[in-house]
Structures are given as structure tokens and as C-alpha cells.
Amino acid sequence: MHDRDTVGLALLALEEGMTLAGAAEVAGVPLRTVANWAAGRLPRSYAGRRPGPGMMGGEAIDREAERMSAKGLYDPPATGPLAGLEPAQIENILLRAVLADLKAGGWDPASISNRSKCELGERLRLATGLPLRSITGFLRISRSSYEYHRARLGRDRDAALRPLVAAEFEASGGRYGYRRVHAALRRRGVVASEKRVRRVMREEGLEAARPRRRRWSSYAGEEGRAPAPNLLLVDADRDLHDFSAARPGEVLVTDITEFRLPGGAGKVYLSPCVDLFDGDVVAFSAGTSPSKALVAEMLEGAVAATGGGFTLHSDRGWHYRTPDWVRDCAGAGVTRSMSRKGHSPDNAACEGFFGGLKVEFFHGRDWSGVSAEGFVEALSEYIAWYREGRLKAFDEGGGTVYDTIRGRRERLGLTA
């Protein structure tokens, strides 16, 4: 048995031009039921018998509204724009208002909370001037529940959470999205869902920097010695790679990226060595020239940190094909691996590190007045934070765990 208001809402939706399926969704009833109503086969509740309290979804109705007749419930107010209307017209106005709310996405017909009813009720009172008893009776909500939610409509349910979210966002230098902010809050014992954190960040305008579109790319061509084989390529036909490692210091990737500073401050080049086990920056060098000395310094730092004997993958840049580079790698027991010609996805692991680095550290910040030396210092500070303070998502035991690279290694009993 469907109550009178549900039937009226479905019929009104059909009058407004909705399809049978649309009217069924609005009213929250099966399509066949709406088809029967449209054909004139109406239930007794709509033919004159109003449903009792037990037919209203289990929700209590205000005692005052229960004692009112259908005519008294929709009596027009003595003054105002609705004065002089018939009760049926008042009911029709209310039904149209609910239908408009549904079209606007304000309600889910299948699950209307008391708070949502109260929000609609306040809009109806403002628009119609009807007394509260008519509003609560029509919405099927008790007077006490209505007053409870009305007293809380103006309150900010996230007032205590907002400063905590802002603090974690600022602590990351504006780099964290809502997932990492949520993970950081959980580490502090703050209980809040990801959706709630995302909503607060959106409302507060806390948005992590986004990567800029790459305008162009080029390949310098084949120069120098013959390249080494691509040891990370699993299936060339399907372009499958293995960017993983079973233990720290087993497989590393490297490349060089450029930072252009404004105001004629020049350029800074970064040459890192990234561990495929967990994304750790094993070693890096930075300078104002992409020279052989830059990559030699990086290689020396990586060998000192790991003891050598690892596989090192790079692109086909000339730095990695010079006699000095080949000799230094062989002397440290480093196995060389190189990408295919003009195929940047072969070194996607290092390119991904550069992408995140430039989003979190470089783009969206004003570097005016910063010298190359000052930039290198700030870059070094970021990489230290990246290793020891930045939360990273790790897949462990079928779930996602947020931890720092250093913290995870300590937790797993590995040498950082």
C-alpha cells in the first residue's frame, strides 16, 4: 500500500512531462505501479482513505498532526499569498515543491533523512507561509524531530576538523591531496572519513598543485657508444615492464630533469637515483650544467649508499654512453640497462618521480628572486622530506598502508 502523497507525487511528475520510468524513480516505487496509476488504477489511499501511522515508513508523526483531518492539514493560512486557496491547491503546491527539489537533486527519494526533511520544510515555510503543523504533517516528521534538526541547521559539523585538515595540508607544503591528508590525520588518531576530508578541503579551497601539460618533447638522437639492453622490458609487443625489486638497492633508475628559474636566474639540473623497491631517492646531484660530472657524482653517491652491485636503468642520453660512465659502472659492479630509442615509457618509474616532484615542489610556487644556489638548497630539503616525512601509499597484505619510506623500512627491519 502506497500513501496518498507518494501517489500524488508520481502523478504530478507525469503531469510535468516525466516518463513513467522517471516518475517511478522520483516517487520511489516500481515502474509497473506507476503504469497502473497512470491508467487510472489508483490505490484506496489516494481515493480517499489516508494511511495510518503504521504506513508511514515507521516514522513518528506529531500528535497534533495525527489528530488533524486531511482538510485541516492543508487549510490555507489566514493571511499571505496562499490565503483563500482550497486545501487541494495547498497540497498540490507542496507536492510541486517536493518534485522541484527532487529534480534539483536535493533529495534521494529512496532515503530521505529527517535533516533533509527539515531543510525542505524551512524552504517551504519561507515560500508558502504555511504554519509549522502543516509542514510537519505533510513531510511526515514529528514536531520534536523537526525542531531538533532545525536548531542544528546553521551549525558547522566540521568546525573541529577544519583546522586539523588545514594544518596537515600546510605541513606538506600544499602538496598533499585529500587521501594523504586523511592518512596523516589517521596517524594522529583523528577519526574522519576520506569523503569528509575531501569535502572540507574543497570547501576551504585546499587543492594540491596540478601538473602542467608538457608542451613538447624530443629525442636527441643516437650518439656515442652502443646502448645497453633494456633489462626492465618484459614483453616488447605488449610494452610490459617490471618496475619492481625484491629488496632495497637491487634495481635503480636514473635520469636528468631541468628546472628553469625566472628572472634570468638560469637553470638547475637534477640527477637522482631512485630505488624501485619503494621509490627511495638513494642518491642525487644537482647543478647548473647537465655535465658528465653531474651523473658521475650521482653514481658515486649511489654506490656509497648501497655498496654497488645493482642494476641501473637509464634512457639513451649521451651521459650514460660515455667511456667514463661505462668504466665507472663496470668498476662498481653496476649492471647497465637502457631504454629503447625514443621510448620514454621504458623509464616511466623515473619520469613518474619527476612528475610528482615538479607538482609538489616546483609548479605553483613563486621562484622569483631565488638564485640557483638557493634553489638547490630548497630542492635538497624537499628530497630529505620526501624520504623521511612524506606519506606514501604501499600495498601490503591486500590493503593500502600509508607510511614514510624511511618509516616503512624501519618497520620491516630493512636498512634505510
The reply to whether 383 and 322 lie within a common domain is yes
238 and 113 within one domain: no
Q: Are residues 11 and 33 in the same domain?
A: yes
Task: At 284, list the grid cell.
Answer: 642525487
Q: What is the per-residue pLDDT across 40-88, written as a single tens digit (0 to 9) for each?
A: 777 765 654 433 333 333 333 344 344 444 446 667 676 666 666 777 7
Check whether residue 142 and residue 167 sit in a common domain.
no
Whether residue 118 sits in one domain with residue 178 = no
Q: Verify that 194 and 245 share a domain, yes or no.
A: no
Can you say whether residue 43 is alpha, beta or left, with left for phi > 0 and alpha for psi between -120 and 50 degrees?
beta
What's the pLDDT score for residue 223?
Answer: 46
Q: Are 382 and 357 in contact (CB under 8 A)?
A: yes
Residue 364 lies inside a defined structural domain of this protein: yes
Specify if 65 maps to a domain.
Answer: yes
Q: Which three cell numbers stand for residue 52?
A: 495510518
pLDDT score recorded for residue 97:
64
Residue predicted with more confidence, 351 or 125: 351
The H or E element containing residue 401 is: strand 399-403
108 and 198 assigned to the same domain: no
- How high is the pLDDT of residue 68? 42
CATH number of residue 335's parent domain: 3.30.420.10
Q: Are residues 39 and 86 in the same domain?
A: yes
**Average of pLDDT values for 131-154?**
80
- The average pLDDT across 200-221 equals 66
**DSSP percent split of the chain into helix, strand, coil, nearest 5:** 45, 10, 40
Within-domain flag for 227: no
d(CA 185, CA 57): 38
Asked whether the CA dihedral 339, 340, 346, 352 is positive or negative, the reply is positive
Q: What percent of the chain has pLDDT over 90?
A: 41
The DSSP bridge pattern shows strands 311-314 and 251-254 to be: parallel
Dist CA 24 CA 11 (whole Å): 10
Q: Which domain holds residue 351?
A: 233-411
Q: Is residue 220 part of a domain?
A: no
- My answer on whether 87 and 192 are in the same domain is no
- The phi and psi torsions of 218 (rounded to 5 degrees) equal -150, 165
Shared domain for 306 and 399, answered yes or no, is yes
The structure's pTM equals 0.57
Which bin fits 225, alpha (ψ -120 to 50), beta or left (φ > 0)? beta
- Answer whether residue 209 is part of any domain: no
Number of other CB atoms surrounding residue 100 within 10 Å:
12
Q: Which of 197, 243, 202, 211 is nearest to 339 (CA)?
A: 243
- Round to whole Å and give the CA distance between 301 and 295: 10
Shared-domain flag, residues 192 and 282: no
Q: Is residue 224 part of a domain?
A: no
61 and 130 belong to one structural domain: yes
Cell output for 384? 630529505
Number of domains composing the chain = 3
Q: Which residues contact 121 (CB under 8 A, 6 or more apart)?
A: 135, 136, 139, 141, 146, 150
* Within a domain: 61: yes
Can you tell me the mean pLDDT for 318-343?
91
Residue 153's Cα: distance from chain center in Å? 27
Confirm whether 211 is domain-assigned. no
